[in-house]
Amino acid sequence: MIGAAHALTYTGTEMSTQGAKTPFQRLTRTAKVFETVFFGTRAEADRALAAVHALHERVRGTLPVAAGRWAAGTPYSAWDPDLMLWTLGCIADSGQAMYQTFVRKLSADEREALWQDYLLFGELFGLSRADAPPTYMDFRAYWAERLASDDLALTPTARVAGRQSCFEIPLPRHLLAAREMANLLLLGTIPARVRELYGFSFTLAQQAAFQAAAASLRRASRITPDALRRGPNTASFNLVARTERDLQRRGKQRATIFA
């Protein structure tokens, strides 16, 4: 799972025209690339990374509208180390938040080892270690500063995109009730500053429900077989992409995320 913090804080990055027409197919392709790097063979990971690097060569331009202190016309590039670090930070914070909320707390040594793994992950996508915090504690200081910074701002497009990409994932009708529970779990793991920016409420009743559900999932994780707990989520990604195609074909879902 990419995680709520990544989905919401990173949303607003430019999409291709085709990606805007089928946003969840685009998002599931990204998720599959990540899981290929995590779980695939060396050859499979190398092919996926080569395709991403070629795509990133074309991701450059200027902001069409102002975003916070960033004026319209500000240039951007997929290879900008600050943007790459921000992306990696969103993924790393989300991964840790999800694991510690729904599985167990990590020790100090485990948190450090996890950050070192994320540094390697960033390197594979082109981020130099020289441009990233060298230790877990350095990362946490960077992350706290970023979340408190005035650099965080939402364009109208990003505000809509974040809500839809996290809380309106296309699923078959029989799974919509489960989606509501998943949405609550996502809402509870989003950093408070990000909830504030998006205007998401998180009432006392929601907090109580979230804490009870998280505790239940932690207990369940102890007896869940490893075959179910670990490994890729390809089947789930394919289901989301397939459902989006089906709903659009029947005219029941518009591609509004980046419209």
| pLDDT value of position 253 | 63
Query: Tens digits of per-residue pLDDT, 105-132?
Result: 999 999 999 999 999 999 999 999 999 9
Alpha carbon distance 27, 257 (integer Å): 11
Select the more confidently predicted residue: 252 or 26. 26
Lowest mean pLDDT among 9-13, 46-50, 168-172: 9-13
Q: What is the mean pLDDT of the chain?
A: 88
Measure CA of the first residue to CA of the last residue in the chain; give whole Å: 25
Q: Say yes or no to pLDDT of 237 above 90.
A: yes
Spans of all domains in the chain: 4-249
Would the pLDDT of 219 be above 50? yes
Q: Closest Cα partner for 7 from 140, 191, 171, 252?
A: 191
Tell me what pLDDT residue 20 has: 59
Q: Report percent pLDDT > 70 for the chain.
A: 90
Q: Give the per-residue pLDDT at 9.
A: 44
Q: Is the pLDDT of residue 15 over 70?
A: no
HEC string for the chain: CCCHHHHHHHCCCCCCHHHHHCHHHHHHHHHHHHHHHHHCCHHHHHHHHHHHHHHHCCCEEECCCCECCECCCCEEECCCHHHHHHHHHHHHHHHHHHHHHHCCCCCHHHHHHHHHHHHHHHHHCCCCHHHCCCCHHHHHHHHHHHHHCCCCCCCHHHHHHHHHHHHCCCCCHHHHHHHHHHHHHHHHHCCHHHHHHHCCCCCHHHHHHHHHHHHHHHHHHCCCCHHHHCCCCHHHHHHHHHHHHHHHHCCCCCCCCCC
User: What is the mean pLDDT of the segment spanning 222-237?
Assistant: 87
* Torsion sign (Cα): 98, 126, 114, 142: negative
- pLDDT band for position 232 (50/70/90)? confident
pLDDT-derived band at 22 (thresholds 50, 70, 90) equals confident
Is the pTM above the cut of 0.75?
A: yes
